[in-house]
Amino acid sequence: MQLRTTKEKILLAILVGIIAGLVCALAKFGWEIPFPPRTPLRDMTNPPQELLQQLGMSYELSHITYLYNGNARPIMSFIMHFGFSITFAVLYCVIAEFNPKIKLWQGAFYGLVLHIVFHVFLLPLFGTVPAPWDQPFAEHFSELFGHMFCFWLVEIVRRDIRNRITHAPDPEVAAAEATR
């Protein structure tokens, strides 16, 4: 499949971004098993639940759960988690189609920037999480490297799926380099 128009490039990037975002969200779940970002007390209302409550959702609805294998799972947190991962993976994939600089460190730099924007500035500014200096080191470690790992993975998925669909390298790769 040869991408001829900007519209085709954007549509493919959106499709690939959705797939990469799903992989990213699942990988972030897995990352947080050995590196939980919050203490049990702070996780009683996690940041997605707190943000939903700040936006007007009731405590009861933001903490609603479903059961899987006898385990209560926080559905609203998961919706926010997948929504964040898919949204920012789609954005990454669309930008990568036109500006290869976003792929610095194979996407890990993008994850670093997202961590800083959200966990260091926006979420503390909104009062969703404590100020960065009041957060434990373990939280910064988990969130920083978790975002970097997951968006490195987004780049791996993006490049592989895109190249399999188009049978071509990324646009900035010279034709001679692609055929060696």
Domain borders along the chain are 6-46+75-171
Q: Return the bridge partners of 74, or none.
A: 65
pLDDT of residue 164: 95
Q: Which of 65, 63, 155 is nearest to 107 (CA)?
A: 155
H or E element: which one contains 108?
helix 108-115
Give the pLDDT score at 174: 64
Distant-in-sequence, close-in-space partners of 162: CB < 8 Å, separation ≥ 6: 12, 13, 16, 93, 170
pLDDT at position 24 is: 98
167, 1 in Cβ contact below 8 A? yes
Rounded Cα gap, residues 82 and 105, in angstroms: 23
Does the global pTM surpass 0.85?
A: yes
Position 177 scores a pLDDT of 65
Residue listed under structure tokens 């920012």:
88
3-state secondary structure (DSSP) of residue 40: coil
Is residue 180's pLDDT more than 60?
no
Structure tokens at 175: 């034709």
**Structure confidence at residue 3 (pLDDT):** 76
Helix (H, G, I), strand (E, B) or coil at 169: coil
DSSP state of 128: S
CB-count exposure of residue 179 (10 Å: 0-12, 13-18, 19+): exposed
Query: What's at 31, amino acid-wise?
Result: W
